[in-house]
Amino acid sequence: MNERLNSLQQLIKLSQDDQRRHLNYLAKCPMETRLALFEKQKEIFYSLLQKYKGVITTSDITYAALILAIGVTRSLEKKLTKKSFGELSLDEIRELSASRAVSFKNTLTKKSPTHEKLMGYWAIIRTLRLDHMYSYERIALYLKKKHRFSVAQSTIQKKWKELEVSITNQKENTK
């Protein structure tokens, strides 16, 4: 086991802390970046497999390829934070800008966990509001008591206006 870890450590050339940071980066990056990262991992995997076949197990090579692909992606992102792009080609700058735009877009459109959970209960909220004429405050109390989901009545009201008013507007436009 110790030899296996040593050979893996020599292949990756990163400390345990750096590997942990790379994996944390993978967990936090947007889905588009992850998919591109796994494509890069596949390329690295096959080159490592040809080089180390029989020496290192395929599961170790897979892990090493993942860590190395994350390292390549992180270094590309760090290049974008530079103030001068003199040494980069136009294609590299275009690729870096596109990836940075995707990550920036995802930071703007990140949904809160409360919003996600509220959308899960939306059918219940809609039934309570339309069929039983519950107020927003009473709906919030109902969700807290029956579903153990604490949400402010103002949040429910904002989402109601956002979703239900747009639905009624669409129905009126189709008439």
Q: Domains of the chain: which residue ranges?
A: 2-108, 113-174
Q: What is the pLDDT of the chain when averaged over all its residues?
A: 86
| Distance in angstroms (rounded) separating the CA atoms of residues 104 and 100 | 6
Closest CA to 64 of 108, 120, 4, 136: 4
Question: For the whole model, what pTM was predicted?
Answer: 0.56
User: Given pLDDT bands bounded at 50, 70 and 90, which one contains residue 66?
Assistant: very high
Among 32-36, 68-72, 111-115, the minimum mean pLDDT is found in 111-115
**Over the stretch 121-155, which tens digit does the pLDDT of each residue have?**
999 999 999 999 999 999 999 999 999 999 999 99
What pLDDT is recorded for position 85?
67
- Top pLDDT among 94 and 68 is at 68
What pLDDT is recorded for position 53?
87
What pLDDT is recorded for position 169?
77
What pLDDT is recorded for position 5?
82
What pLDDT is recorded for position 87?
74
Give yes or no for a contact between 22 and 67, defined as CB atoms under 8 angstroms apart.
yes
pLDDT higher than 80, residue 62: yes
Closest CA to 48 of 13, 96, 1, 3: 13
Give yes or no for a contact between 60 and 8, defined as CB atoms under 8 angstroms apart.
yes
User: Given pLDDT bands bounded at 50, 70 and 90, which one contains residue 167?
Assistant: confident
What pLDDT is recorded for position 133?
95
